[in-house]
Amino acid sequence: MSPTGAQLSRSYFEQVVRPLVEARWPGLPSAAARLGSGSDVLGLDDALSRDHDWGLRLNLLVPREVVVDVDAHLAAHLPESFAGHPTAFATTWDPAVRHRVQVETARDLAVSRLGVDPTGELTVDDWLALTGQAVLEVTGGEVFADGAGELGGIRRRLAWYPDDVWRHVVAVDWARLGQELPFVGRTAERGDELGSRVVAARLAGIAMHLGHLLERRWPPYAKWLGTSFARLPRAAAATEGLHASLAADGWREREGALVQALRLLHDLQGEVGLPTVDDPVEPFWDRPYRGVREAVVVALEEGIEDPEVRALPRGVGSVEQWSDNVDVLVDASRRLR
């Protein structure tokens, strides 16, 4: 059985990279891990993943004053291949054929993925500028060594949102669900079956994001969102309802299955210690559709103590809640702006 990307990276570090560095800089405080981009960072790579940007990649984190020298030393002394894989190769973001041991400081690695500095105190805006995928690129991969401890400290700080920010983003997902839930029926009754399905799919995506928030798990980007949701210990119970909603032929069944999933997530909300109401769903005015009760959002907002978080607008939230534009979400500078 072929090794996963993380297993290959660990062997490469332990058998090749670490001996080279330790022979030249004995006792150098450093860390090594497989972080950044790539399905193997999340442990989700398979045979298909190997057609690009997969192979002998790892992050070597060293003090700033030796970054350039360590990189040059590896370039000069790494073998041409290891375990049948080339040590130097081009990537989709860099056509140069060079080794892919990313040598940098722990802080610089984190800032390059996040756009903010997690070695200091993060502001409310900093937290809201993060995507789950960006955080996972720092916290989701395997760590092979952390002699300095700095990487571990960064990962602990990024474990989860501060409590008030958490309540805010959960409230925002309920507000987003409320904005469009009645349209599942309204569009279909006007003869727009495709529109009804599109709205239901959008709401299913928000529900999956909400499930991650309630489980205190950072959600990955779209390619792996469903895979990650299905692995959540408790929120995954809503999968059946979401599947049924998207497979339904009529809007009433579509709406009913979606409501079933939302009620399951609302029950989970109470289990994790967040406020709930009797029922998160109610009739939409006197029309034959259902909407989300505003009381769900209000109950969450009332538990927020930080005045800066309380002042945030309802229904906007974090950058991945107010934009699904990939070119924005993958660019830290754009997220911050």
Q: CA–CA separation, 281 vs 47, rounded Å?
A: 43
Tokens (6 digits) for 233? 């210990």
| 29 in the same domain as 144 | yes
Using the predicted structure, report yes or no on whether residue 1 has a pLDDT greater than 80: no
When divided into structural domains, the chain yields a total of: 2
Domain hosting residue 174, numbered range: 163-325
| 179 in the same domain as 88 | no
Tokens (6 digits) for 97? 């054929």
| 11 in the same domain as 123 | yes
The DSSP bridge partners found for residue 291 are 282
What mean pLDDT is predicted for residues 105-113? Answer: 97
Q: Is residue 334 part of a domain?
A: no
| 180 in the same domain as 84 | no
| 146 in the same domain as 65 | yes
Which residues fall within 8 angstroms of residue 214, CB to CB, at 6 or more apart? Answer: 170, 234, 235, 265, 268, 269, 272, 274
pLDDT bucket at 226, cuts 50 / 70 / 90: very high
Q: CA–CA separation, 130 vs 317, rounded Å?
A: 11
Read off the amino acid at residue 273. G
| 135 in the same domain as 33 | yes
| 111 in the same domain as 177 | no
Domain at 277, CATH number? 1.20.120
| 202 in the same domain as 134 | no
| 321 in the same domain as 269 | yes
Classify burial at 278, counting beta carbons within 10 Å of its beta carbon; exposed 0-12, middle 13-18, buried 19 or more: exposed
- How far is residue 132 CA from its own chain's centroid? 3
Read off the amino acid at residue 328. V
| The pTM of the whole model exceeds 0.85 | yes
| 182 in the same domain as 145 | no
| 207 in the same domain as 310 | yes
Per DSSP, the three-state class of 89 is strand
User: Residues 136-180: pLDDT tens digits?
Assistant: 999 999 999 999 899 999 999 999 999 999 999 999 999 999 999
Using the predicted structure, report yes or no on whether residue 238 has a pLDDT greater than 90: yes
Using the predicted structure, report yes or no on whether residue 2 has a pLDDT greater than 90: no
Per DSSP, the three-state class of 282 is strand
| 135 in the same domain as 212 | no
**Residues of the chain with pLDDT > 90: what percent?**
92
Q: Tell me the average pLDDT of the chain.
A: 96
Domain end marker among 108, 136, 157: 157
Of 46, 52, 79, 153, the residue nearest 109 (C-alpha) = 153
Of 255, 233, 237, the residue nearest 182 (C-alpha) = 255
Q: What is the pLDDT of residue 250?
A: 95
